[in-house]
């Protein structure tokens, strides 16, 4: 079945599993937070008034 007895190596194996779980949870939380920020930024940009478009040939030219 499921043998979780690590014997003499338990002092090394279980902390490694724990650290890995914490790192993966942190990465998942960071990704979710970033996705929320991106969604909020997108909603803000979509709600803004559209700006007039400038022809590419006019960009950088002096009058």
Domain locations along the chain:
9-38
Cα separation, 29 vs 37, in Å, equals 12
Element (H, E) at 2: none
Give me 38's structure tokens. Answer: 């991106």
**Structure confidence by residue, pLDDT tens digits, 7-53:** 899 999 999 999 999 999 999 999 999 999 999 999 999 998 877 77
The DSSP-derived string for 4-61 is ---GGGHHHHHHHHHHHHHHHHHHHHHHHHHHHHHHHHHHHHHHSPPPPP--GGGTT-
Cα separation, 28 vs 34, in Å, equals 10
- pTM exceeding 0.75: no
């Amino acid at each position: 079945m499921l043998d979780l007895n690590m014997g003499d190596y338990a002092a090394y194996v279980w902390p490694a599993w724990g650290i890995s779980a914490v790192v993966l949870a942190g990465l998942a939380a960071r990704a979710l937070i970033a996705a929320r920020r991106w969604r909020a930024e997108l909603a803000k940009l979509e709600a803004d008034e559209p700006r007039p478009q400038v022809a590419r040939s006019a960009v950088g030219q002096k009058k």
